[in-house]
Chain A
Amino acid sequence: GQQVMQIPQYQHVQEGEDFTTYCNSSTTLSNIQWYKQRPGGHPVFLIQLVKSGEVKKQKRLTFQFGEAKKNSSLHITATQTTDVGTYFCAGTGGGNKLTFGTGTQLKVEL
């Protein structure tokens, strides 16, 4: 079945450093969504990418969808303590099934 893996599983950074999480699918995706879950909270939708090679930006966050539509990345520039949380990708593959990645937990230290 469809599998979506994310790396790294954990990342500790100093405030002001950059952060990137990578999402890799075993199958070609029609679209990919990104969610953020704060500690003790629930996932909140951030963005959806649909086109091959698409790049979208939200302030300090940059999202990319690979040319082959099998991978994606989220890059945060100059992290802040408010960026703390777990970031999930979720891809739609065969059968229009949405599969969540394993998540990357980000900790930001002052």
Chain B
Amino acid sequence: DGGITQSPKYLFRKEGQNVTLSCEQNLNHDAMYWYRQDPGQGLRLIYYSQIVNDFQKGDIAEGYSVSREKKESFPLTVTSAQKNPTAFYLCASSPHGTPDNSPLHFGNGTRLTVT
């Protein structure tokens, strides 16, 4: 079955530590995205990539970093500079990026808790 795999499902870290969230897709999609979801705030875009070795900042990129070395993989690092890292992180992909705006396919998400 084709899909998007995010791991782990739950992640706990101490404040001050960097942590990397994994996202892998086997849908052969060009574009990949990272969203953050907080209660009552919908989904906010962190970073997106429309092609390998290229990515752009979204609305809330501060304190995060990404890489896109392979088409299938788009890991997200939450750095110690992110002020409020505890959240539900969703990875998504679409066949093409803008301006096509094809529908997004989401992974199951990673719930990160930083104490």
Contacts and interface: CB of A to CB of B under 8 A. Distances in A.
Given A102-B40, A102-B41, A103-B42, A41 B101 contact: no
A85 to B, nearest CB: 13
Interface in B30-56: 35, 40-45
Contacts of B59: 1
Contact of B101 (A1, A31, A42, A101): A31
Contacts of B105: 45
Interface residues of B, number: 19
Contact of A45 (B35, B42, B99, B104): B104
Interface stretch (A14-22, A71-79, A90-98): A90-98
Name the interface size band of chain A: 20 to 34
Contacts of B17: none
A102 B39 CA distance: 9
Contact of B98 (A1, A6, A41, A97): A97
B86 interface: no
Contacts of A43: 43, 90, 104, 106
A65 interface: no
Interface of A is mostly: strand
Interface of B: 35, 40-45, 59, 90, 98-99, 101, 103-109
Interface of A: 1, 4, 6, 9, 30-31, 33, 35, 41-45, 48, 88, 90, 92, 95-98, 100-103
Closest 8 CB pairs of A and B: A96-B98, A45-B103, A42-B106, A100-B43, A96-B99, A100-B42, A102-B42, A92-B101
Given A33-B101, A100-B44, 11 more contacts: A6-B42, A42-B90, A43-B43, A43-B90, A44-B106, A45-B105, A48-B103, A100-B42, A101-B42, A102-B41, A103-B40
13 contacts: A30-B101, A33-B103, A43-B104, A48-B103, A90-B104, A95-B98, A96-B98, A96-B99, A96-B101, A97-B98, A98-B45, A98-B101, A102-B40
